[in-house]
Amino acid sequence: MVNPAVNIRARDIGGQEKPRDRYLTLEEIKTIWLFLDSDKNAISLQIKNALKIIILTGVRTGELRLAKWTELNFEKSLWTIPAENTKTGLVIYIHLTELVKSLFLELKDCSMSKYVISGADGISLLNDKSLPKAVIRIQERVGIPQWTAHDLRRTFATQLGETLQIDPVVIEKCLGHKMPKIMATYNKNEMLPQRREALERWTKLIKDLVCCENITYSPLELLQDVI
């Protein structure tokens, strides 16, 4: 049963929200991904692929929900998120790995909309409550509680740092965060090659994770690409 108060935030009723620190383990990511790929759910392709794209790229749910096909350049493997769609008011560049491109192209093959993730009618913008409701249903089915679609973004950032040992500045750039004032003033480097490498390594880890039932990683294996 869906909780009707799930989308009510503390600030909506005069309270203050505490920062969340929930992120998913690799095993939890694997469980959710395999569930999305299984025939044990009736989740739409739009929602399934949206959740996978967020896991793989760390984009905000709003950035993906508002995305249009004109923002994607498949030849250059680049998604350009316009400033008006971002929380920071900055243009964000997202490298598209082959797996991410395949998820987008799967959506494009059955799309009649200008939006990448369309609503139930196949044309309009996806309702902003659709992803949160889907996550609640998935929580109940797979037994992984207390996570949200936005927590997938935190998972992306945390796993890039803790598991893949990606440079924190590169992670901040991947997330589209504003740099501290002094860095923003003097360092205009977008670090696109480093971000591309980070996303390729993260995608490879996810692919290995979901393709191998009993896969385990040693710290040395996880750092091989760094050494």
Concatenate the DSSP letters of all residues of 79-122 into one string. EEE-GGGSSSSS-EEEE--HHHHHHHHHHHTT--SSBSSB-TTS
Domain assignment of residue 10, yes or no: no
What is the percent of the chain where pLDDT is above 70? 80
* Rounded Cα distance, 16 and 23, in Å: 21
Q: Is the pLDDT of residue 163 over 70?
A: yes
pLDDT above 70 (res 222): no
Please, which residues have CB within 8 angstroms of residue 155's CB and are 6 or more apart in sequence?
23, 24, 29, 55
CATH number of residue 156's parent domain: 1.10.443.10
How many other CB atoms sit within 10 Å of the CB of residue 80?
13
Q: Is the pLDDT of residue 166 over 70?
A: yes
The predicted structure's pLDDT at residue 4 = 46
Asked whether residue 227 is assigned to any structural domain, the reply reads no
pLDDT surpassing 60 at residue 15: no
As given in the structure block, the two tokens for residue 16 are 């203050």
In whole angstroms, give the CA distance from residue 89 to residue 63: 11
For residue 120, is it within any domain?
A: yes
Reported as a pLDDT band with limits 50, 70 and 90, residue 19 is low
Q: Model-level pTM greater than 0.85? A: no
Find the farthest-apart pair of alpha carbons in the chain and give their distance in angstroms, rounded: 52
Instruction: Label residue 32 by pLDDT band (50, 70, 90).
Output: very high
What's the token pair of residue 20? Answer: 């969340």
Residue 107, in any domain of the structure: yes
Residue 69 inside a domain? The answer is yes
Inform me whether the pLDDT recorded for 44 exceeds 50: yes
More confident residue, 63 or 217: 63
Q: Is residue 2 part of a domain?
A: no
Q: Which residue would you say has higher pLDDT here, 120 or 158? A: 158
Candidate from 6-10, 49-53, 147-151, 163-167 with smallest mean pLDDT: 6-10
Q: What is the mean pLDDT of residues 153-178?
A: 94
Average pLDDT over residues 138-160: 94
pLDDT, averaged across the chain: 85
Q: Give the pLDDT confidence of 64-85 residue by residue, as tens digits.
A: 999 999 999 999 999 999 999 9
Residue found by looking up tokens 């409550």 in the block: 129
**DSSP state for residue 22 in the 8-state scheme:** -
Q: Domain tally for the chain?
A: 1
Whether residue 166 is contained in a domain is answered as yes
What is the reported pLDDT for 57? 98
Domain that holds residue 211: 22-222
Burial 114-129 (b: 16+ CB within 10 A, else e): ebbbbbeeeeeebeee
The pLDDT of residue 55 is 98
* The pLDDT of residue 190: 76
125 within domain boundaries? yes
Provide the percentage of residues in the chain whose pLDDT is more than 90: 69
**Quick one: angle between helices 149-162 and 130-142, nearest 10?**
70
